Amino acid sequence: MVTEGVLTLSKAVEKIKRYIDTSSKADKIFNIKGTDGASLLAKALIEDCTHLNLWVGKAVNPAHQNPDLPIDLSIKLKEIEELEKLMRKLGKEVKVTYV
């Protein structure tokens, strides 16, 4: 992934969490076959990824400065940390570089 928005990233992280939970509970249904960005990203990370190198920018997006939007840098960084943890749980090699 070259760039992805925090909303898509957070939805993909949620899908990966459900996938991990589903792995130990066969009665739950998990679906990553959607064509939305979060499903495609989650599917690629779960099925195709062996190594994940994340270059994470810390610049503030001016579009997210609207006080009516719940998006800020701390949310993005928390999602990146959660993604790193989940991917390691799946046995993936993960490297995160903050720029």
Residue pLDDT tens, the chain, 99 long = 556 788 899 999 999 999 998 765 554 456 788 899 999 999 999 999 999 999 998 877 676 666 666 556 778 889 999 999 999 999 999 999 999
Q: What is the pLDDT of residue 27?
A: 45
Q: Domain total for the chain?
A: 1
**Which residues, at least 6 apart from 77, have a Cβ–Cβ distance to it below 8 Å?**
56, 58
**Which residues, at least 6 apart from 46, have a Cβ–Cβ distance to it below 8 Å?**
16, 19, 32, 90
Q: What is the pLDDT of residue 74?
A: 79
Q: Is 56 helix (H, G, I), strand (E, B) or coil?
A: strand
Asked whether residue 21 is domain-assigned, the answer is yes
- pTM, to two decimals: 0.80
Asked whether residue 86 is domain-assigned, the answer is yes
Q: What is the pLDDT of residue 22?
A: 76
Asked whether the beta carbons of 28 and 17 are under 8 A apart, the reply is no
Give the integer Cα–Cα distance in Å for 84 and 87: 5
Asked whether residue 1 is domain-assigned, the answer is no
Instruction: Name the residue among 73, 47, 71, 48 with its Cα closest to residue 58.
Output: 73
Domain of residue 10: give its range: 6-98
